[in-house]
Amino acid sequence: MRISSLQENFKHSLSIVARIAGKNVNLPILNNVMMEAKNGDINLITTDLEVGIICKARGKIEKEGAFTVEAKIISDYIALLPNKKIDFTVEKNNLMIECENYKTSIKGQEADDFPLIPSVEKNVFFRLSIQEFKKALSQVVFAVASTENRIELSGVHFSFNKEKLTLAATDSFRLAENMISINTNAEEERSVIIPAKTLQEVIRILSAIKQESLNEKESEIIFYLSDNQILFTVSNIELVSRLIEGQYPDYKQIIPLGHKTRAQINRSELLRAVKAASLFSKTGINDINFDFPQGKNKIIISAASGQSGENITELDAQVSGDDNGIVVNFRYLLDGINNIDSEEIIIEITDNNTPCILRSKKEDNYLYIIMPIKQ
């Protein structure tokens, strides 16, 4: 193999793929990036057997071939080179790198032992804006379960129909749901569960792409599905991931259909008051109280603990409905507030035993639900 590429281009492509190549003791080749020069493309490929990433690097091919080297070493080294042309040549089991007055040899392994990235047919597609998808995904992925006792809750539920993609995540203590428009040629509705780890990698990749340099077609992300894999394609990057098997819980049944009390409040004021109350919540319980006194257009947020003391904050709000109150976990509440993109937040409750709903005042499709702490 003999190829060349500008340092800036190669460094950017390495930054896309290198992070999932970790320290794998059982299969050391998974710590490597595969450089493949084939059919006019220079592909950089990494995998951890659950996620595989392929990124096309711009450059020139003089001789086709493939070789693997440790991802961290080559990434760190390429980042130190001047932004000039780099020549790569494979000699025996070494990758020779030349860039101006820098000459380096990195030991590597033949590509024959590198795991194959699963292929997913590209017949049925789902297409949507990078920016919209990244925002919608960020607003739900944080709510997945962090333990794998229930494997299906460690991913985000994607439900596709002909017009909408509904994203949902829950750890059974809170739920985040979002809906965005899609373009598709699919005839049937489809639901899958995608690991949170995969989606965090997708967000990282989308954040690394320079939006301003993309044309209209490139500013979209496209999904393709097989029975047990999903393929994301965006710009010159492909990411393939396994899907989580199992039945996602029917979360719709926990969404309250109505409410007895509704409040509209300034987001910044609410955030400050919740953070203040959190300092006085009980350790390990993280409880803060919300009270909605009838007819007073106020929300009273309070917390008390035998160790730290007591805090009470009264906030002006537009409140309608019954005299009501609820106790919630402040950490879950802060996550919801931080992911609502609006100056005003709507809070809806039925009673102290029913989930509390947070929404944006904007007419968007984002919904966040917190289970109450029962006294």
DSSP 8-state symbol, 151:
G
Mean pLDDT calculated for residue range 211-222: 70
Whether 351 has a pLDDT exceeding 90, the answer reads yes
Task: Give the tens place of pLDDT for each residue, 36-45.
Answer: 999 999 999 9
307 vs 233, higher pLDDT: 233
Confidence class for position 230, pLDDT limits 50, 70, 90: very high
Question: What is the pLDDT, as a whole number, of residue 341?
Answer: 87
**Is the pLDDT score of 212 beyond 70?**
no
Asked if the model's pLDDT at residue 288 lies above 60, the reply is yes
In this structure, the strands spanning 2-6 and 237-242 are unpaired
- Distance of alpha carbon 359 from alpha carbon 285, whole angstroms: 24
Q: What is the pLDDT of residue 214?
A: 60
Q: What is the mean pLDDT of residues 60-89?
A: 96
Q: Could you tell me which residue, 209 or 12, shows the higher pLDDT?
A: 12
Cα distance between residue 310 and residue 374, in whole Å? 20
pLDDT at 199 over 70: yes
* pLDDT bracket for residue 1 (50, 70, 90): very high
Q: Number of C-alpha atoms within 13 angstroms, CB side, residue 314?
A: 4
Q: Which class for 132: exposed (0-12), middle (13-18), buried (19 or more C-beta within 10 A)? A: middle
Q: What's the CA gap between 117 and 357, in Å, rounded?
A: 42
- Of the chain, the percentage scoring pLDDT greater than 70 comes to 98
Q: How far apart are CA 246 and CA 254, in angstroms?
A: 20
Q: What percent of the chain has pLDDT over 90?
A: 86
Report yes or no: 29 and 114 within 8 Å, Cβ to Cβ. yes
At 217 the pLDDT is 61
Look up residue 56 and give its two tokens: 């096309």
**DSSP-H helix ranges across the chain:** 7-17, 71-80, 130-141, 196-208, 267-278, 330-338
**pLDDT number for residue 213:** 59
What is the structure's pLDDT at 101?
Answer: 94
Average pLDDT, the chain: 93
pLDDT for 215 beyond 70: no
What structural domains does the chain harbor?
Answer: 2-113 (3.10.150.10), 125-251 (3.10.150.10), 255-370 (3.10.150.10)
| Structural tokens at position 332 | 């879950």
Per the CB < 8 A criterion, the answer to whether 220 and 129 are in contact is yes
In the predicted structure, residue 86 carries a pLDDT above the cut 60: yes
Residue 26 CB neighbour total at 10 angstroms = 5
pLDDT digits (tens, 9 = 90+) for 14-49: 999 999 997 777 889 999 999 999 999 999 999 999
pTM, whole model, 2 decimals?
0.92
How confident is the model over 57-72, as a mean pLDDT? 96
Give tens-digit pLDDT for 253-280: 999 999 999 999 999 999 999 999 999 9
**How confident is the model over 144-155, as a mean pLDDT?**
89
pLDDT over 70 at 216, yes or no: no
Count CB atoms within 10 A of the CB of residue 184: 19
Average pLDDT over residues 53-77: 96
